[in-house]
Structure 1
Amino acid sequence: MAAFRDMEEVSQGLLSLLGANRAEAQQRRLLRRHEQVVERLLETQDGAEQRLREVLTAEKEVAQSLLNAKEQAHQGGVELQQLEAELQRASEEDARLKASLLYPFLCLSRELEELKEIEADLERQEREVDEDTTVTIPSAVYVAQLYRRISKIEWDYECEPGMIKGIHHGPSVAQPIHLESTQLSKKFISDYLWSLVDTEW
């Protein structure tokens, strides 16, 4: 604005000088002065416009950078939420897989423990049977042999159920034994079998 006032003052002075018919030298000085003022004004205007353009460009770049930063921050927030959700899903899936893998293992472990207990029980029973066998089998064999020597009866162990069959080897002849246990009392069968035993030694 000051430059415009200077120019106006110079112009008015020039007009007044021209109107007063002053010296030519003073007119030239005023014209040079006018030209210098105009040049300064134009330079100042060009510089101001350039600075204004630079400021506007800088403001635009700053605004665009700010928008980009906000968009990146928003996008980053969205991606972070997606990653957190995926991580949560992966953790749940991992826990489910661990549980599904661990359950059969626990079941198999329990079954294995049960099998070990059964195996130990069977081994214990086998030892008991072996111990019982070593003690009772000679006695049973002895009793069976003694009974056969005394009664002289050879039993048919393959006969049908409900039947008592065998052969009594008496002093003179062998006599077959054929009894139906379902139709005879146990006392009768016992008395009959003892009657076959020879009382003479």
Structure 2
Amino acid sequence: MAAFRDMEELCQGLLSLLGANHAEAQQRRLLRRYGQMTERLLETQDGAERQLQEILDAEKDVAQSLLDAKEQACQGVAELQQIEAKLQKASEEDTHLKASLLQLTRELEDLKEIEADLEKREKEVDEDTTVTIPAATYVAQLYHRISKIEWDYECEPGMIKGTEPVTPCSSQRLGSCL
């Protein structure tokens, strides 16, 4: 704005120069004024160029920051997709493991039932053999007391073996009896 005022003053000065006889003094003054105005215009232009360069540098920095942010966002999206893929895979594996665990749990329950059934049968067999074995042992002990036969308790089940002891007394008795 000041530059326009200066130009206007210059124009009016030139008009007055034409109208007056003091042309030489006025011309020097106007040339000095014109030099000052040109100097101020160049300073203003330099200032404007500096400000424009600063604005361009700032815009370049902002654009670079924006590009960096976009790149980071793209990397974040890629990482997010990888994490989602891993999560999906882990979820599928978890589902598979849960199914396997359920199947194994069922098998374990079945085995526990079989084990309980086997224990029950084993108890029944033990009760059956416990009842019969003491009776067989009692009979064997009774025969031993009566007949003095040495019984072999380690023979096969259902079998009883025995041997008659040979003692010097019994052979003497036999001999003396004859």
- Paired residue for 2:13? 13
1:46 Cα deviation from its structure 2 partner: 1.2
> Secondary structure at 1:64's aligned position in 2?
helix
Deviations 1:89-139 (A, max 9, x none): 112213323543563465245324413431331122221232145458878
CA distance in 2, matches of 1:57, 1:40: 25
**Contact persistence 1:10–1:34 (CA under 8 A):** yes
Deviates more, 1:59-68 or 1:121-130: 59-68
- Paired residue for 2:88? 88
- Paired residue for 1:117? 117
Which has more helix, going by share of residues?
A: 2
- Paired residue for 1:36? 36
- Paired residue for 1:126? 126
1:59 Cα deviation from its structure 2 partner: 2.6
Output the amino acid matched with 1:88. Answer: Q
Which has more strand, going by share of residues?
A: 1
1:34 Cα deviation from its structure 2 partner: 1.1
Give TM-score scaled by structure 2 length: 0.58
Output the amino acid matched with 2:87. Answer: L
1:57 Cα deviation from its structure 2 partner: 2.6
Output the amino acid matched with 2:96. Answer: R
- Paired residue for 1:73? 73
Output the amino acid matched with 1:10. Answer: L
What's the C-alpha RMSD, in Å, of the aligned pairs? 3.5
1:37-52 alignment, distance < 5 Å = 37-52=37-52
**Contact persistence 1:18–1:27 (CA under 8 A):** no
CA distance in 1, matches of 2:39, 2:18: 22
Q: Which runs of 5+ in 1 are unaligned?
A: 140-201
Q: How many residues align?
A: 140
1:159-198 alignment, distance < 5 Å = none
Give TM-score scaled by structure 1 length: 0.52
Q: Percent identity?
A: 60
- Paired residue for 1:59? 59
